[in-house]
Chains A and B, each alone.
Chain A
Amino acid sequence: MTDTAATNTADLPEYPAPRDAACPFDPAPAARAEQAAGALRRVRMPTGQAVWLVTGHAEQRTLLGDARLSSDVTNENYPLPVDRPRPEESSVGFILMDDPEHARLRRMVASPFTVKRVQALRPAVQRIVDERIDAMLAGPNRADLVQDFALPVPSLVICELLGVPYADYDFFQRNSAAVINRDTPLPDRDAAMGALFSYLAGLVDDKAGSPADDVLSGLAQRVRDGEIDRNEAAKIGVLLLIAGHETTANMIALGTVALLEHPAQLERVREGDEATVASAVEELLRYLTVIQSGLRRVALEDIEVAGETIRAGDGVLLGLELGNRDARVFEDPDTLDVHRGARNHSAFGFGVHQCLGQQLARMELQVAYGTLYKRIPSLKLAVDAAELPFKHDGQVYGVYELPVTW
């Protein structure tokens, strides 16, 4: 191990670092400075743990594709984002586990997320998007686009897929937000996680009695067949519920802010055909990279990369927001260009943990961006962009509120 408790980490730069309020879409200046200094840097996490920060796009892909880097949260050196006792097991299913168990569990729930199944859902998503826009237009001419559009669309979709009653929206939305925000005090975070777990476990039990065509019923069936225990099934439910709506909601809202601030780009999306909208979705995923503050891993063996040696036991953070602005891969990386056509961004991660819901997310974003600005051409911010409450404290970047008029 390069770092022991005795190593003084106080001199290392801190990561994550604050963004510049004047450039809310760009990574933190201090993180950019580390990126300029090299593809692998030593940084200090808020917990005080010294870790590697991987800033280069190619190096991130190499490492995320390397099975010697582990996602196992129970490993004594896995970098925890906040000061807390080491968990005895992953509370969010396979995202914090390694193969082969990770692959076994992931494959159990992969079916609804294939390209074909997702395409079959497109008309239903279009209907949801249109209904939310109808409701907004029927109300007062000032709305919070987060509460009225960005959150309900992916929430309705994931509820439908999982078999979670949308009537419980307030409950799971409040608890997911508490889990995701970095500043939530530990007891509150644990309470929120516990509430979500009990809720999903209860639903799995219900589905065992009256199965439907949804993911939780599928998991209940596997519990009955002894392939997985109830505890594990509920945790996968928690993972899908949280991952399935927070990320996409933030992309819808933040993407809208970015486009409203880049009117020429917005015009291209509004006037564009399906291919243009699809290309804009990839570019916004790259440009905004809402999963901020780094994917976390721990090295199981020594790994040589970019002239450095990551030692067994070292913590590693992969700053996706930095890799997606790597000038060696993306020309003029800080420019938002909806015609860029780059599909090799890392907004969904890389390696065997690459986002399971990515095809669904893509389709939801295509329908949302492809419909909203056409149907409300006069959409504009109701406050100055500088006054928007950006989610600097979240593991997922976005805005808490998005006041708009039209």
Chain B
Amino acid sequence: MKSLFNDLGVGVGLRPPHYAEIKEQKPKSISWVEVISENFMAWKDSPMAGAQENLLQIRKDFPVFLHGVSLSVGSVDVLDKNYLERLKQLVDMVQPAMVSDHLCWTGVGGENLHDLLPIPYTTEALNLISQKIDQVQNFLGRRILIENASTYLEYQASEMSEWEFLSQLLAKADCGLLLDINNVYVSSVNHGFDPKTYLSHLPIDRIGQIHLAGHSTMDGYLVDTHDHPVCESVWELYRWWNNEFGPVSTMIERDGNIPVWAELESEVQRITEVRSEKKLRLG
């Protein structure tokens, strides 16, 4: 089945410690960068012009993916009009290759807890979220990607599995999926399901991007901390995915204990290696 999205190769989550190197060296190891939208969105007392200027400079050399954390499509609150307007300004300015946010809620009653909170997989949530994604896509005038978040709890109210919910949501909202394979792995350990079952039930044509990241191992569960290299089990899942379904734009997310660029770059290069394994076999 033909995908709704083009494979744009390998990217990286761009963070301030690496701005200078990416700007100056324009590394060949990456074809695009992803940034957190909210870090560049203007707010009342601060137009964020410095950050935006940096981003526009990088945009000259690399396509940019905008990845948000506060859209809160899962909340019963109505969409924040002001947030959407500021996001649209940024989208118009940057002309990103992709725009994404998470399948989660971040707060209710106007409050923001700045966390990606899990939703119950119910028909009520499905209807509400698909409607909200539809509003966002109409407002932005483009299709967005929704990312599966790592979760630490499940609700008794859920009527279906996360992968069933996601599959229905993607079709109903006509949006894409940002598949975070580390998040699938973290949730699979925390809730005791088979990650390959999850991955094989997703609609391949709607997957526009893949995230790989590291997590922390706690006593009996995993936490999605993005402060370690990608673990071998996640690399294994990614390799399996790539062999089964073919290449999708893929990147590394790193937010804590950020290593020097050369170290992160070697992890990014591993994505290219894994992607080329399938090509070699086919060749």
A and B physically associate: no
